[in-house]
Each structure stands twice: as structure tokens, then as C-alpha cells.
Amino acid sequence: MLTVSVRTRNTTTSCFSAWADADITAFIVPSASLAVSDDEVCEGTDAVVTITTSENLVDYEAFIGGTSVATGTGDGSNLNITIDDADLALGNNTITLIADNGDCQITLTDNGLVSLSSNSIAPTAAVSSQNNFCIGDFANISLSYSGGNLGTGAVATWFSDASMTSVIGAGSPLAIDAPMTTSTYYVSFSGVCNTTAAVPVTVTLNSESVAPDSATPDKSGYCEGDETKVTLSYTGGDMGDGAQAQWYADASLTTLMGTGNNLEINAPAMTSEYYVVLSGVCNTTPAVVASVEVNHVPDLDISPDTTIGFGANANLWTSNETGYSYAWTPAATLSNSEIYNPIASPAETTEYTVVVTSEHGCIAEKTVIVTVEGEIVINTGFTPNDDGYNETWVIEQIEFFGENDVEIYNRQGVLVYKTHAYKNDWKGTYMDTDKKLPVGTYYFLLNLNDGTPIYTGSVTIIK
């Protein structure tokens, strides 16, 4: 405290008052300088204000825009005052510091600038201008994002890999060359404060089909009429997106037979080709052919039914084609049963069948009837009584069958007569003797040895 003598002067009369003593108290002004340790901070990070050489027991209070945001009391050294980031506005913030020692206050603003930067928030979605397309449909596509927030100094960066090492560009929309395969791209916001998680967008390319390696039927080389169904199959190739196997009956691919592998169709009546393609969203492959070979069944003509006299011949014939084989039945009365035109010499009316086989094993058959007039007639009795009438057993037309065999048996089954090349000369005797057999009924076997059935029956010796 300082004591001083003072007097006053009247300004009107210029007269002074008497001297008097007065006490004056002098207060010390606080001393401090303001510095900001963190002049740039991000959202979520507090700013620190440093008061260098703070005075002991001096109270310090920080203001932003007139609002108190932090306080502290000096201790004779540097004093750090922490400012919550919630009290900062984005961008530059001016810090005002008031120092108060109880007697005097000072206000400090030098070096009191704090910048608050914003964090980036990842996009909510990323999209492509084109998707689900085929190679060559587009030269370029555009990548863009929606949602999220670019923080202070942030840019949207696009990558071609999830590890975010291969940058393909920045911004939105971003034009890039259309990919040649299904690809995934990633966008991330990166700025002063942070780099967000990447948000992906997948650009899907529809795949093209690849033609089958081969196509085959389950049946081929059969004869006309032998099969009712054929199954068409293919192997190899590759189904593109949305593709199916389509089968056509013509090379111009206009007559659709059906779809899918292992397609069952009606068996064709003639050699045919079927064409399979794989057709989908992006392409239709070249056709692959499955051939079904159908072998022709011989078309037969045959000689007409005919009538001959007993002992005569008939000329038979059927179609004559290279590679055909022939089998006529019954063969015994034919000159050759394995040619197309045999000569028939039947002793009785006969139906002949010819089976013709083609070089591919296809079979056709036809029949022809040869009617024989005046055929063998076997008499059932004779009277060997030496009256010159009906003395021998007569078989009409037997002379045309010189290789015949005759056997005669009695009722007990005993052979009583046997001869080769019978000539209507048996007089009812036993074997080759002149001993006459008793009157009665006997039983014969007549074999003409021409392939025809053996004749059987009875003959009666009458006196």
C-alpha cells in the first residue's frame, strides 16, 4: 500500500484545497501466454489448450464464442486445459482465455485457433450402371455410391480388390471399362480423419454357352420298323446363363424337336439327322449333329401264284438286289433254296415262303402258292385174285417219284413188304416172295423223298 498527499483545485476559482494524505493499493496483473497443443482435431478427439508459465492460484477460463468451455487453476507451471470436441464447431474455432487472480483479469486470444475436422461415414450402397450383361454389350460402365458422408478432405476412392491396393479411380460416378468377367469393385471414403470400410458392388457378366463336343443317338443302324423310340444325347460343352439344349430336325434350326439332354423322340422311319444347340442369354452355339441311320427293309416282288400239272415245274422268283441273301422253304422240292429264282417241282400243292435278308440284316418275306393238278392218289384196296382186273396196289403219279420208298405192315405192326422205287407192282405177297398174304387191312408208309411229308394210310387186300 502506498500513502500519498493530495489536494484538489477548484477549476472555477483556481484555488487549491489543503493537503491531505491518501492510501493507494496496487494490484498485480496476471501474466500468461496462450498456446493450443492440438490445432487440428477430429470429431471424437478433445482439444488441449496449454497456458505457458501459469501463475500459482490464478484461475483460467476458456471461451468459444462467449461460451465457457473449460477452466483450470495455475500452479506456477504450464497448465493444460482440455476442451471437449462437442464444444467445438466444425472448421476453425477461436479460443479466448480469461485469467483472473482475484484482483485483476486479462483476456488472451493470441494463438487460440483450433480446427475441428469431420469423420467420413461409409456409403450405404454402391451400384453399377449396368449389370447382368454379356461380354461386348457395353464398352464402359459407371460406378456410383449412395448414402454415407465425405469427411473433411475426403474423397471416394474405388478399388478392384478387397484389400484396397489396386486403385481404379475416384469420385462418383466413375466411368471404367466394362469388365470381361464377373467382378467386384470396392468404394471407400478417405480423408483427414479416417478411411471408412469398403462397400462392394458386384458386376455380373452372363456367361456364354460352349457347343457340345458330340451328339449321339442311343439307337442307330436299325431296320425300318424295328424301333419305336430313340434317345438323343450330347456330351461336353458348357451351359451359359439361362441356356438350354434345343434339338432341331433341320440344319436351318426351324423345326424344334424338344429340349434337354437325353431327349426321347419317335424313331425315324428313314436315316435322319438331328441338330443340338445350347441357347441362352448371351449366345446360341453352333449346332452339333446326331445321325440316326435307318436301314431299308427289302421291297419284295414275288412271282404270282401259279398252277402246274403233276410232274411239271414252276419258275419262282423274287426281287434281285446286290447284297441280298435268300432262303426259300420248303427247300426239298426246289432246285436251289438260296437263290432269288429257284425252280419248284412239288408233287402236291405247296406254299413257298422266301425270306430275304439285306446286307444290313433287314428281313422281308413273301409267299407264293404253286397248285399241282393231278397229284398223287393212293388207292385203298385191290383184288389180287388172278382175274386180270385190279390185281396190284396202284398209286397214281408214283412214276414221277423214282426215289420213293414203300413199307407195308400188318395189324400187329410186322413189316410184310418193303421196296424202293415202287412201280405199282405189289400183288399182296410177302416181301419178295410169291407167298400171298391173308385177306385183310394193312398199313403203309410212302416216302417220296422229295421233302414232302410221308404219306400214311391203310390198304385192304380183297379176294
Structure confidence at residue 254 (pLDDT)? 96
Question: What's the grid cell of residue 405?
Answer: 420208298
Structure confidence at residue 102 (pLDDT)? 73
Structure confidence at residue 72 (pLDDT)? 77
- CATH 2.60.40.2470 boundaries in the chain: 214-295
Query: pLDDT tens per residue, the chain (463 residues)?
Result: 456 666 667 777 777 667 766 565 555 656 656 555 556 888 888 887 776 655 666 777 777 777 887 787 777 676 777 778 888 888 888 878 787 777 777 787 655 677 889 999 999 999 999 999 999 899 999 999 999 999 999 999 999 999 999 999 999 999 999 999 999 999 999 999 999 999 999 999 999 999 999 999 999 999 999 999 999 999 999 999 999 999 999 999 999 999 999 999 999 999 999 999 999 999 999 999 999 999 999 999 999 999 998 888 999 999 988 889 999 999 999 999 999 999 999 988 999 999 999 999 999 999 999 998 877 889 999 999 989 999 999 999 888 888 999 999 999 999 999 999 999 999 999 999 999 999 999 999 999 987 778 999 999 999 8
Task: Please tell me whether the overall predicted TM-score, pTM, comes out greater than 0.75 for this model.
Answer: no
34 burial via Cβ count (<10 Å: 0-12, 13-18, 19+): buried
Q: Is 90 helix (H, G, I), strand (E, B) or coil?
A: coil
∠ CA 202-206-209 to the nearest 5 degrees? 150
- Whether the CB-CB separation of 195 and 186 falls below 8 Å is answered with no
- CATH 2.60.40.10 boundaries in the chain: 33-117, 306-373
Structure confidence at residue 242 (pLDDT)? 92
Structure confidence at residue 35 (pLDDT)? 57
The set of residues, in sequence order, having a beta carbon less than 8 Å from that of 275 and lying 6+ positions away, is 247, 248, 249, 250, 251, 253, 287, 288, 289, 290
Q: Which CATH architecture has domain 377-461?
A: Sandwich (2.60)
User: In 165-305, which ranges are E strands?
Assistant: 167-170, 174-177, 183-190, 199-203, 205-206, 214-217, 222-223, 229-235, 244-248, 256-259, 263-266, 272-279, 288-292, 294-295
CATH number for 306-373 (one of 3.10.20.30, 1.10.540.10, 3.30.460.80, 2.60.40.10): it is 2.60.40.10
Q: Is the CATH number 2.130.10.10 carried by domain 33-117?
A: no
Q: Give, in order, the Cα–Cα distances in Å from 73 to each of 58, 85, 108, 321.
A: 6, 21, 16, 128
Structure confidence at residue 53 (pLDDT)? 53
* Region 214-295: CATH code: 2.60.40.2470
Q: 125-206: which CATH topology?
A: Immunoglobulin-like (2.60.40)
Structure confidence at residue 239 (pLDDT)? 94
Question: What's the grid cell of residue 432?
Answer: 419178295
5 burial via Cβ count (<10 Å: 0-12, 13-18, 19+): exposed
